Amino acid sequence: MALIEVEDVRRTFTVRTRAGRLKRVKREVRAVDGLSFTVDAGECVGYIGPNGAGKSTTIKMLTGILVPTAGRLRVAGVDPSRERVSLARRIGVVFGQRTTLWWDLPLRDSYELARRIYRVPDGRYRANLDRCVELLDLGDLLDTPVRQLSLGQRMRGDLAAALLHDPQVLYLDEPTIGLDVVSKAKVREFLREVNTLQRTTVLLTTHDLTDIEQLCGRVMVIDHGRVVYDGGLDGLHAAGDSERTLVVDLAEARPPIDVPGARVVRVEGPRQWLAFPAQDSAAPLLAAVAARYPLVDLSVREPAIEDVIARMYAEVAIG
Ligand SMILES: Nc1ncnc2c1ncn2[C@@H]1O[C@H](COP(=O)(O)OP(=O)(O)OP(=O)(O)O)[C@@H](O)[C@H]1O
């Protein structure tokens, strides 16, 4: 069942720019330009794209903050901008860059306020709070004012606040930004649990592609307000023409070796790096290298997803 429906949605902004000393001209910016997709209940979807691609504008329309210029939007059966109050009970939102908690209040009081605003029944509130406190390790922090929390602690606090009312959809905008490795791991583990056990639908915007690799079965890449890729991470590699690398340690330093189906991209003493198409099997290549040259060691490196996406953006920009 589709929980999020976006059908040919557009959103333009009129901006005024200087033209000469006194004159100002109006210009139309198409932030979202004919966007269509659906997200089914229980999915965890990465929503990624370069700066200015239209991600925040999409999320703002899906939360009812912005009204689309044209097109149709539904979240959990509700038109976001027309029914913001009933939508608020169905969604949770976390912005990595700013908090939705009350700065001067202890976490516990912020949660209590959220309980009243969303009219969460007592039993459900208790159960959800206990679960979040345990999974996010918030026990010792509940009585600390939000302004005294570290960034990682605050983010964990924000995640709990977004989930106390059992939303069907959770929007996450850069949830791991600025966090250290340990905090990132904790946040990701929690999100995985929320998505797989609670079956909460997650739409995740991030520039940290490890978030996507570890959490999302599906990725949507957006550029210039349109979806340019929608599918699994594997397919993203194929779409971006990505390459894997075979790293070989030869018995001695040599000029670049010659093996069909691969090309040497780097040589450092006896070590050589051979690039080959990511979708090809590495086995024949390994066999060919081993048959021709005395080897000490070899390993295969997967392409960095950042490189794949950078390549894809470059193709879109050229095309
Ligand atoms: N309120 C606004 N007024 C004018 N232009 C806007 C407004 N909001 C967004 N834009 C423009 O719309 C385009 C899309 O912006 P948006 O913030 O949705 O991108 P984004 O993908 O979220 O980028 P980032 O990764 O940098 O957050 C940009 O060109 C931006 O300048």
Q: Looking at the predicted structure, is the pLDDT value of residue 167 above 80? A: yes
Measured distance CA(172)–CA(300) in Å, rounded? 33
Q: What is the mean pLDDT of the chain?
A: 90
pLDDT at 40 over 80: yes
- Residue 158, amino acid: D
Ligand 1 atom closest to the CA of 222, numbered from 1: 21
pLDDT at residue 237 above 50? yes
| φ/ψ of residue 90, rounded to 5 | -100, -15
List all residues 6 or more positions away from 208 whose beta carbon is below 8 Å from its beta carbon. 174, 176, 177, 184
User: Of 31, 35, 59, 33, which Cα lies nearest the Cα of 46?
Assistant: 59
Dmax of the chain from CA atoms? Answer: 74
Does residue 15's CB lie within 6 angstroms of at least one atom of ligand 1? yes
Q: Report the SS3 class of residue 81.
A: coil
Q: Give dist(CA 267, CA 285) in Å, integer.
A: 18
Band the pLDDT of 319: cuts 50, 70, 90: very low
Strand partners, 39: 4
The alpha carbon of residue 300 and the mean position of all alpha carbons in its chain are separated, in whole angstroms, by: 26
| 50-54, 56-60, 186-190, 315-319: range with lowest mean pLDDT | 315-319
Lowest model confidence (mean pLDDT) among 57-71, 114-128, 232-246: 232-246
Interval between CA 203 and ligand 1 midpoint (Å): 18
- Choose the weakest-confidence range: 95-104, 257-266, 299-308: 299-308
Total-model pTM: 0.82
Question: What is the rounded distance in angstroms from the CA atom of residue 61 to the CA atom of residue 263?
Answer: 47
- Which tens digit of pLDDT belongs to each residue from 75-131? 999 999 999 889 999 999 998 888 888 889 999 999 999 999 889 999 999 999 999
Tell me how far CA of residue 154 lies from CA of 107, 131, 191, 221, 315, in angstroms. Answer: 9, 17, 15, 29, 39
pLDDT confidence tier of residue 239, bands split at 50, 70 and 90? confident
Tally of CB atoms within 10 A around 42: 15
**Would you say the ipTM is above 0.95?**
yes
Q: What average pLDDT does the segment 133-162 reach?
A: 92
Q: Residue 307: is its pLDDT beyond 70?
A: yes
Residue range 250-265: mean pLDDT, rounded: 94
Average pLDDT over residues 32-44: 96
Q: Which two tokens stand for residue 263?
A: 């090309």
Instruction: Give the closest residue (by CA) to ligand 1 atom 1.
Output: 13
pLDDT at 311: 75
Residue 93 in contact with ligand 1 by CB distance below 6 A: no
For the beta carbon of residue 110, count every other beta carbon within 10 angstroms.
24
Q: Which of 11, 12, 29, 67 gets mutated to test ligand 1 (max ligand atoms within 8 A of its CB)? A: 29
Please state, as a whole number, how many other Cβ atoms lie within 10 Å of the Cβ of residue 287: 11
Given this model, what pLDDT does residue 317 score? 55
| CA of 85 relative to ligand 1 center, distance in Å | 25
Contacts of 3 (CB under 8 A, 6+ apart): 39, 40, 41, 75, 76, 168, 169, 201
